[in-house]
Amino acid sequence: MKTLIKNGTVVNATGRGLADVLIDGEKIAAVLAPGANLLGFDVAANVDRVIDAGGKYVIPGGIDAHTHMEMPFGGTQASDTFETGTRAAAWGGTTSIVDFVVQYAGESVLERYAAWQEKASGECAIDYGFHQILSDVQDSSLTAMDELVNEGVSSFKLFMAYKGVFLSDDGQIVKAMQRAAQNGSMIMMHAENGSVIDLLVQQAVAAGNTGPLYHGLTRPWQAEEEATHRAIMLADLTGAPLYIVHVSAKQAVAQIASARDNGQNVFGETCPQYLYLSLEDNLAAESDEWGRFEGAKWVCSTPLRAKAEGHQHHMWQSLRTNDIQMVSTDHCPFCMQGQKDLGLTDFSKIPNGIGSVEHRMDLLYQGVVDGKISLERWVEVCSTTPARMFGMYGQKGVIAPGADGDVVIYDPNGHTSIGVGKSHHMNMDYSAWEGYEIDGHVDTVISRGKVIIDDSAYLGTKGDGRFIKRGLSQYLI
């Protein structure tokens, strides 16, 4: 199957221009001057399908490098399966995800990895890769790290919080970092000081402060800044590249910026929720049908922070200045009924997570419309940098000959209304983004040459998505 996307504005991280894109089979074959004949050969007359993208942007498919499909967590399991979650991602212009294999303390890393391959196989609508979570760093975990790098799993997430669930102590962290420094893999860090948070949570609950608002109040920015600093120091000690996930505090950004200024391979990821939502939203929400429990919709970690403290503003700015390199969703959806309500009388029992995999491209495009980031930066933080950061660039993250035919046609004159019953294909009984209106629209989504979203119709099939065997990071200084 040969497809020609005509008359569009091709936008890569490096710039934009009018061009036609020829996809042959699963790959981009050529990026041509508009309407061009190729050495006298009429391209448009010799393809199976022509898509007119006049007045629209033609961008590399989004890459969401932080999702948790069907993750067992918080006494339940994330409500999107690989099938439903990747389909929702496709609706929103995301053509690749990198999900997390979970290893809890005491479990075998390689057994868990095999189990996750089994879960995802034949289920995904789009291509998928894996990061590996390491919870206790056993000697066998270190050899597993080497094996996984060879399998195309070149990044490992560690946690400085969630005692008894995920937490690694500093010694375990250093061990994993030493191995990463040797085998070239990336350490990803959940940087929050868990023992401080555990104490504050215990004190809040004992004082009868059990509502969702206290989730944010017991995870202060100091706990994030301190852990971010500590992770950076341990990475410096060992020489491991370090990627801080879900950064929400401006003080943590400052730590990352300072490490980068010192020449360290330290990177930061933020999420749409830290760019748009705030602790004040939790406060304002206290009066609806769920009464004071409404705020559970936005319980995630790191938490939403006080808008009054300037974190949101600073986060957009850090995207512009490259103090923060990427935007992923940390898609970890739970329904209010039967999942979030596990914490109805105690916020610490609310499963942590927000679902956004469908909306990242749109929400960040709104940042372009609002003058917060450029069009090229949108493509960079949502597609190109994720590809480079996690060893997929060339295959993914760019409109160029030889790359996979993962292409989104985005309509800047279209419109998207987000919310249940509107744009909402995630398996959740609410939307954290209810009522958001976007001045743009995902029109067509092509995954390895196959049109999977066409004019608001889903044409994909589960099993279309293939495992992405990633290389080492292509982003290191």
Closer of 154 and 302 to ligand URP (Cβ): 302
- Measured between alpha carbons, how far is 246 from 268 in angstroms, rounded to an integer? 8
Name, in order, each residue with C-beta under 8 angstroms of 109's C-beta and a sequence gap of 6 or more: 103, 132, 134, 140, 141, 144, 145, 148
Asked if 443 touches ligand URP (CB under 6 A), the answer is: no
Asked if 411 touches Zn ion (CB under 5 A), the answer is: yes
In which residue are the tokens 């559970």 written? 296
Closer of 353 and 449 to Zn ion (Cβ): 353
Per partner kind, with CB cut-offs from 5 to 8 A, the member of ligand URP, Zn ion, none near residue 184 is none
Cβ at position 263, least distance to Zn ion in Å? 26
Per partner kind, with CB cut-offs from 5 to 8 A, the member of ligand URP, Zn ion, none near residue 353 is ligand URP
The encoded tokens of residue 282 equal 């939790």
Per partner kind, with CB cut-offs from 5 to 8 A, the member of Zn ion, ligand URP, none near residue 210 is none
Structure letter (DSSP) for residue 408: E
Closer of 34 and 414 to Zn ion (Cβ): 414
Asked if 102 touches ligand URP (CB under 6 A), the answer is: no
Using the rule CB under 6 A, which residue among 13, 20, 51, 68 binds ligand URP?
68
Name, in order, each residue with C-beta under 8 angstroms of 105's C-beta and a sequence gap of 6 or more: 135, 136, 164, 165, 166
The CA distances from residue 393 to 33, 50, 202, in Å, are 24, 27, 45
Asked if 190 touches Zn ion (CB under 5 A), the answer is: yes
Closer of 138 and 302 to ligand URP (Cβ): 302
Asked if 314 touches ligand URP (CB under 6 A), the answer is: no
The encoded tokens of residue 344 equal 């109805």
The CA distances from residue 374 to 3, 180, 311, 378, 410, in Å, are 29, 34, 20, 6, 15
Closer of 330 and 404 to ligand URP (Cβ): 330
The 3-state secondary structure of 456-476 reads CEECCCCCCCCECCCCCCCCC
Give yes or no for a contact between 145 and 137, defined as CB atoms under 8 angstroms apart. no
CB closest to ligand URP, residue no: 352
DSSP 37-105: EETTEETGGGSSEEEE-TTSEEEEPEEEEEE-TT-EETTEE-S--HHHHHHHHHHTTEEEEEEEE---T
Tell which positions 328-357 bind Zn ion, by CB under 5 A.
330
Asked if 188 touches ligand URP (CB under 6 A), the answer is: no
Per partner kind, with CB cut-offs from 5 to 8 A, the member of Zn ion, ligand URP, none near residue 129 is none
Partners of residue 97 on adjacent β-strands: 64, 128
Name, in order, each residue with C-beta under 8 angstroms of 313's C-beta and a sequence gap of 6 or more: none
- Measured between alpha carbons, how far is 39 from 33 in angstroms, rounded to an integer? 12
Asked if 144 touches ligand URP (CB under 6 A), the answer is: no
Quick note: the x/- pattern for ligand URP over 332-361, rule CB under 6 A, is x-------------------xx--------
Using the rule CB under 5 A, which residue among 441, 449, 452, 473 binds Zn ion?
441
Using the rule CB under 6 A, which residue among 56, 190, 229, 260 binds ligand URP?
190
- Measured between alpha carbons, how far is 399 from 47 in angstroms, rounded to an integer? 19
- Measured between alpha carbons, how far is 192 from 285 in angstroms, rounded to an integer? 26
Asked if 272 touches ligand URP (CB under 6 A), the answer is: no
Asked if 330 touches ligand URP (CB under 6 A), the answer is: yes
Cβ at position 227, least distance to Zn ion in Å? 11
Closer of 35 and 164 to ligand URP (Cβ): 164
Asked if 282 touches ligand URP (CB under 6 A), the answer is: no
In single-letter form, the type of residue at position 296 comes to A
Please count the residues of this chain forming the interface with Zn ion, following the rule CB under 5 A: 6
Residues at the interface with ligand URP (CB under 6 A)? 68, 190, 246, 300-301, 330, 332, 352-353
Residues at the interface with Zn ion (CB under 5 A)? 190, 330, 411, 414, 441, 443
